[in-house]
């Protein structure tokens, strides 16, 4: 769907009215180590105001002089938050998130969960974070030995259908 790999069969067409935001496992690689969080977000919305960029970065827990730190000195979690802010700087109605909680601390993960729960579009995500999956999924697509299995329910429904023993599995 994101064009990162070629399909082995069939085709995928994204509708004309779909605006996609994509967060890859390797998303941190798109950041320029010499730039700042402010510069990264502003580059994606160059006609925005200083206040708009600072408000967006504030929503991702960057305040004061933190917006002017070099990307090269940020932690993995901080870099992930910059990428997420960049992704959300442009309105999307489809978010594709590949392991979005990697490198995030608990506070950042909860902030992302809140944002996704309030998001009015479609979210497709890959994650090994069971808490995260429990909080945001309403349909599970499982790829198992080359077969696609669809579970029309939340993560708990999926766990039950798969016959896993406990909620902590």
Whether 45 and 87 have beta carbons less than 8 Å apart is answered as no
Predicted pLDDT at 96? 92
Domain residues for the domain of 88 are 21-136
Q: What is the pLDDT of residues 86-120, one digit of tens each?
A: 888 888 999 999 988 887 888 888 888 988 888 89
Question: Taking 80 as the threshold, does the pLDDT of residue 26 lie above it?
Answer: no
Domain presence at residue 5 = no
Residue 150 lies in a domain: no
Residue 168 has pLDDT above 60, yes or no: no
Stretch 14-23: mean pLDDT, rounded? Answer: 90
Residue with the bigger pLDDT between 108 and 136: it is 136
- The stretch 118-123 carries a mean pLDDT of 90
Q: Do residues 123 and 132 make contact, with C-beta atoms less than 8 angstroms apart?
A: no
Q: Can you give the CATH number for the domain in which 34 is found?
A: 3.40.50.300
> In this model, does residue 54 exceed pLDDT 70?
yes
Is residue 14, in this structure, part of any structural domain at all? no
Examine residue 7 and state whether it is found in any structural domain, yes or no. no
Q: What is the pLDDT of residue 169?
A: 47
Q: What pLDDT is attached to residue 164?
A: 76
In a domain, 144, yes or no: no
Round the average pLDDT of the chain to a whole number and report it: 88
Give the CA angle between residues 162, 105, 99 to the nearest 5°. Answer: 45
Report d(CA 55, CA 60) in Å as an integer: 9
């Amino acid at each position: 769907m994101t064009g990162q790999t070629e399909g082995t069969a069939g085709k995928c067409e994204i509708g004309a009215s779909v605006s996609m935001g994509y967060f890859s496992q390797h998303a941190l690689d798109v950041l320029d180590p010499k730039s700042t969080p402010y510069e990264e977000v502003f580059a994606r919305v160059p006609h925005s105001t200083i206040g708009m960029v600072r408000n967006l970065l504030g929503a991702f827990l960057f305040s004061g002089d933190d917006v002017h730190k070099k990307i090269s000195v940020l932690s993995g979690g901080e870099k992930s938050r910059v990428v997420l802010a960049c992704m959300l700087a442009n309105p999307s109605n489809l978010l594709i998130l590949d392991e979005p909680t990697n490198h995030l601390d608990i506070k950042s993960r909860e902030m992302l969960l809140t944002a996704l729960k309030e998001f009015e579009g479609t979210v497709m995500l890959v994650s090994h974070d069971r808490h995260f999956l429990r909080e945001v999924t309403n349909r599970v697509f499982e790829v198992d030995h080359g077969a696609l299995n669809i579970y029309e329910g939340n993560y708990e429904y999926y766990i039950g259908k798969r016959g896993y023993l406990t909620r902590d599995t």
